[in-house]
Chains A and B, each alone.
Chain A
Amino acid sequence: MKRETLIWLIVLVIAGIYLSYRFATVGIGSVYVQELGGEQAEAGVAEIAAGTATLSVSRTFGVWAAAIFTLCIFSFLYRDNPLYKFAESVVVGVSAAYWMVVQFWGVIIPNLLGKLWPAWIQSWAMPGLSPLYGAYWYMNLIPLALGVMLLWRLAPKGAWIARWPLAFIVGTTAGIRMVGFIEADFLSQIANSIVPLVVATDGSIDVWACIRNWIMILGIMACLVYFFFSIEHKGVVGHVSRVGIWVLMITFGASFGYTVMGRIALLAIRFEFLFDDWLWLIDPLQKRVGL
């Protein structure tokens, strides 16, 4: 046996013994539930002590599964390994299945079949749906036809039929997004950039607001000059475009800082989950005081 394998084996055995001991003595990772408004909700210490809460085997299993999958994914930081591959495959499989079920019950049933055959869908799938036809209900035959055409690509012959609905999707998406971007990101941004260079409030000049507006305008101009490639970046244009690069670099740095903050927050919540819900090493929400 290789030395590295032996070390990992020892670590895993010690961890297994520790977890078994803690589970047997303290019950780490256990979840208790209570009835709240007709539904099961996680119970606190008071409910557990009063005997109104019961151990939820499924939720306890969920906590342990989530913890083990978290560690499997973390193991990639050491090296690619079968545990990571297993966890990754489970995520992909579960996500695909979840998406399929959600889209079927959230789109196909209410938005298509529910509008074409409302009484039939109401009778077995959606009791809250009106059984009456809406105005222009027959318009929904168009998406039905396009959907069937899209699925045609799975047929051995006539795969080209799928190109028509695909073209429709591409065209409408491009149109909708173009309008959104032109209005919100182009025209509105130009309007937002037209700001006073001398800001006066209550009869006096607001120096900080002036500086902020000047920096913004000069930064925008410098960046625009940098992206203006019709003139060679020499002389004055070269100097201004260099300022533009600096502005862009500062922007990228700020983005990087925010990204780091976001990633650390994600790591922190996984650690919190492992230390709190699974190992019971901390109790920030005071869920287990006196347990």
Chain B
Amino acid sequence: MYQFFKTLDRRWVFLLMALAVGIPILMQLQFPEKPTGLAVVVFEEVERLNEGDKVLMAFDYDPSGEGELGPMATSFVRHCCEKRLKMYFTTLWPAGPQMIQDSINRVIRADFPGLVYGVDYVDLGYKSGEEGVIKVIVTNLRQLYTTDARGTNIDQIPMCLDVDNVQDMDLIVNVSAGYPGTKEWVQYASTPYPDDIRIVAGCTGVQAPLFYPYVPQQLPGMLAAIKGAAEYEELVVNKYAPDGPDPKYLEAKRRMGPQLVAHLLMIALIIGGNTIYFIERRRGGVSA
């Protein structure tokens, strides 16, 4: 047995992981979620806003981050729609416009057809320049954003008339998959203007540990990875659709099923790998 595990082909591990993720998806395994502090803060930051308040929806991710961040984006848009907030979509990622369109189609057009483009929400599209864009638009939006994503002059869009810069926003909601993303929004928006710019973020698991030092002074709330998304979903659904929501608003919660099984497998593999290592060390095969 020891020899078998010691020389185990890593492809068996891949197969085990595929089964650990695949079977719960096929069985549609789900577990209850209890929202933790950071998710509650994010929810309350949106909740405290009043109808007509302005929210900059900075969706800085692309299809590679969709698995973790798509459910967050969906919940954020749904929450803002329920609160009747004015949403200004923008992205610093070249493939971000498709993610914005996906959220608009999935939530606004499908479930909130009464919201009017240009009055309740606007897609400002992609801007190249990474953190340079943030640095400019915190003081002057029009210097970079002359038109929206459809090519309409920004001065002809009613909800943009009273917006001069990002400081006019009541909240920034950033969904971030990497650079540029939450780190840059914190560095160039919320840190230099702590009294005028508030930001909440949803980020990938890889980034989450880097952002914890910003909480709560520079970043009041953060949804970390798919777990954070599931908690936020739970909060939004409990408040606005307690009698059974559309399944598309429970995507993160659904993805927590495979997470649990895969994590159990990971723990077993780590314990197994270490056990083999220490057995071998005791036998004198490996030096410490």
Interface on A for B, CB 8 Å cutoff? 36-37, 41, 77-78, 98-99, 102-103, 106-107, 110-111, 114, 126-130, 176-177, 180-181, 183-185, 188-189, 191-192, 251, 254-255, 258-272, 275, 281-282, 284-286
Contact = CB atoms under 8 A, between A and B. Distances in A.
A282 B247 CA distance: 13
A107 B259 CA distance: 40
Interface string B186-198: 1110011000000
B254 interface: yes
Given A110-B147, A128-B156, A268 B21 contact: yes
Nearest to A172: B132
A262 B148 CA distance: 32
B153 A129 contact: yes
6 contacts: A106-B127, A180-B131, A184-B187, A184-B218, A262-B204, A286-B247
A261 B67 CA distance: 11
Contacts of A268: 21, 25, 67, 255, 258-259
Nearest to B212: A254
Contact of A184 (B109, B155, B191): B191
Interface residues of B, number: 68
B227 A129 contact: no
A191 B131 contact: no
B122 interface: no
Contacts, number: 160
Interface of B: 11, 14, 17-18, 21-22, 25-26, 28, 64, 66-68, 70, 94-95, 105, 109-110, 113, 125-129, 131-132, 135, 144, 146-148, 150-153, 155-156, 184, 186-188, 191-192, 204-206, 208-209, 213-214, 217-218, 224-227, 246-248, 251, 254-255, 258-259, 262-263, 266
A130 B209 contact: no
Contact of A258 (B148, B192, B208): B208
A98 B208 contact: no
A260 B153 contact: no
A59 B11 CA distance: 33
B255 A269 contact: yes
B146 A77 contact: no
Contacts of A189: 213
Given A107-B129, A192-B218, 13 more contacts: A103-B94, A110-B147, A130-B153, A180-B131, A264-B259, A265-B205, A265-B259, A267-B67, A268-B255, A282-B25, A282-B28, A284-B28, A285-B247
Given A98-B95, A188-B218, A251-B209, A260 B266 contact: yes
A106 B146 CA distance: 11
A191 to B, nearest CB: 7
Contacts of A261: 205, 225-227, 259, 263
A185 B135 CA distance: 16
Nearest to B250: A284
A262 B68 contact: yes
Query: What DSSP secondary structure best describes chain A's contact surface?
Result: helix
Nearest to A216: B213
A261 B204 CA distance: 9
The 9 nearest A-B residue pairs measured at CB: A262-B205, A269-B67, A180-B187, A258-B205, A184-B191, A184-B187, A128-B151, A128-B147, A265-B226
B128 A107 contact: yes
Greatest chain A CB density within 10 A among B25, B147, B208 is at: B25
Contacts of A184: 186-188, 191, 214, 218
A109 B206 CA distance: 35
A176 B247 contact: no
A271 B254 CA distance: 13
Contacts of B28: 282, 284
Contacts of A114: 146
A285 B248 contact: yes
Nearest to A260: B266
Given A107-B128, A260-B266, A129 B206 contact: no
A259 B255 contact: no
Contact of B128 (A98, A106, A192, A255): A106
Contact of A180 (B188, B247, B255): B188
Given A106-B126, A180-B131, A264 B263 contact: yes
A126 B147 contact: yes
B131 A275 contact: no
Contacts of B64: 266
Nearest to A189: B213
A194 to B, nearest CB: 11
Contacts of A185: 187
Nearest to A187: B191
B263 A176 contact: no
B225 A265 contact: yes
B21 A267 contact: yes
A285 B110 CA distance: 14
Contacts of A260: 205, 262-263, 266
